[in-house]
Amino acid sequence: GVWGEFVSRMNRRVKTRQQEKDLLESALEQFQSALEALPDGVIFMDDHHRILWMNALAADMMGLLPTQDKGMPIEHLVREPDFVAYLQTGDYSEPLMFHPNSRNQVCYMITLISYGADRQLLAIRDLTQLEKLENVRRDFVANVSHELKTPLTVINGFIETLQTHHETLSTEKRQRFLDLALAQSHHMGRLVQDLLTLSSLEARATLVDETQVKVKPLIDDLVISAEAISAGAHTITMDIPEDLTIHGSATALRSIFGNLINNAVNYTPADGKIHISWRNVANEGVFSVQDTGIGIPALHLPRLSERFYRVDRGRSRETGGTGLGLAIVKHALSRHQGHLEIKSQVNVGSTFEAWFPKARLNQS
């Protein structure tokens, strides 16, 4: 009687407890899987920085072991001076920009947040990519300023000389100074034009002025200008199908072909040969400029289309190069879903190829 009533009440209580426990466990599981899914590293600690729990990403970022390292003070495990100093300051109003010595070029933003009576949360965000972009932007601004400053200094020098010595300078000298200053100002003009082309290519993911561009007449035009630059020093031959059209931007395509052809002229010594051709392969069409020029050492090839990257600064300057040509080619090609391929051998020559997807090509 009484015992029966007691036992069944106990049973009911145990059952409710079990249900509550199951409920709590499933809530905890859900909470943990949400924390695991976060794109940030998260570490829960007590007020002595002893680790209570961390997600897998945090373990990976900080080089910790998720189960073994539990209960250990984090500064005993991550012994990087910046990190330890941040934990010890006690002032967590600003996050720490953390560059671990053990990992090259990695940047984490670490924020310590206190909660509850004696709990702390360490949030770790990977800013490596963002920092890289910021560095690229900073380098670019510095490079542009430098590139513009050089011709500007030369122009200023000539103007000052003309101003101070205008009475004593011979007419020929004066003319020569003016010619040199004009050449520098043309160079600045080309630089600004290339920068504008590059920025308009970067500003949009797609092309706004797409039409069916006839390739042969465009190349004919560019070869005439290239022959003017070459002034008879090179033999330029060409094998481009008459009826080929590319669906794309005429100005961007002109930049691609023009830069590759002019580079071949600029980096090929007198008496060299330049061959411009087109070939169709499986799913692509390839525009190719082959020269018998100075060639490029293999170590430079991967960086050649970076903005302002030059193998030989002096030579590029001599030819009036801006160092932006191949960067423009690369961007303009990627706007056509194409890509650039370079093969080169020092003192033998180079082949630059612009690959276009078949979907953009038309040939009757």
- Residues at the site binding ligand ADP, with contacts judged by CB under 6 A: 259, 263-264, 267, 291, 293-294, 296, 304, 310-312, 316, 321-327, 350
Q: Nearer Cβ to ligand ADP, position 86 or 267?
A: 267
Cα dihedral sign, 110-111-116-119:
positive
**Minimal distance in Å, beta carbon 140 to ligand ADP?**
14
Q: Nearer Cβ to ligand ADP, position 197 or 259?
A: 259
Q: Decide: 298 and 319 in contact? Cβ < 8 Å.
A: no
Query: Please, where are the H alpha helices in 231-324?
Result: 250-266, 313-318
Backbone angles phi, psi at 181, to 5 degrees: -65, -40
Q: Which long-range contacts (CB under 8 A, 24 or more apart) does 74-77 make?
A: 74/43, 74/45, 74/49, 74/50, 74/122, 75/49, 77/51
Q: Nearer Cβ to ligand ADP, position 22 or 318?
A: 318
**Minimal distance in Å, beta carbon 298 to ligand ADP?**
12
Q: Nearer Cβ to ligand ADP, position 155 or 296?
A: 296
Q: Nearer Cβ to ligand ADP, position 78 or 226?
A: 226
Strands (E), the chain: 41-46, 51-54, 96-98, 108-115, 119-126, 210-214, 235-239, 245-249, 273-281, 284-291, 339-345, 349-357, 361-362
Q: Which residues pair with 320 in a beta bridge?
A: none
Q: Which of 288, 275, 267 is nearest to 347 (CA)?
A: 267
**Minimal distance in Å, beta carbon 316 to ligand ADP?**
3
**Minimal distance in Å, beta carbon 133 to ligand ADP?**
21
Q: Nearer Cβ to ligand ADP, position 267 or 356?
A: 267
Q: Nearer Cβ to ligand ADP, position 120 or 263?
A: 263
Per DSSP, the three-state class of 115 is strand
**Minimal distance in Å, beta carbon 285 to ligand ADP?**
21
Which amino acid makes up residue 345?
Q
**Minimal distance in Å, beta carbon 186 to ligand ADP?**
14
DSSP symbol at 38: S
**Minimal distance in Å, beta carbon 136 to ligand ADP?**
16
Q: Decide: 41 and 124 in contact? Cβ < 8 Å.
A: yes
**Minimal distance in Å, beta carbon 132 to ligand ADP?**
21
What's the chain's length in residues? 364
Per DSSP, the three-state class of 265 is helix
Q: Which of 318, 315, 305, 314 is nearest to 352 (CA)?
A: 305
Q: Which residues pair with 357 in a beta bridge?
A: 284
Q: Nearer Cβ to ligand ADP, position 105 or 200?
A: 200
**Minimal distance in Å, beta carbon 152 to ligand ADP?**
18
Relative orientation angle of helices 250-266 and 215-230, to the nearest 10 degrees: 30
Per DSSP, the three-state class of 339 is strand
Q: Nearer Cβ to ligand ADP, position 69 or 291?
A: 291
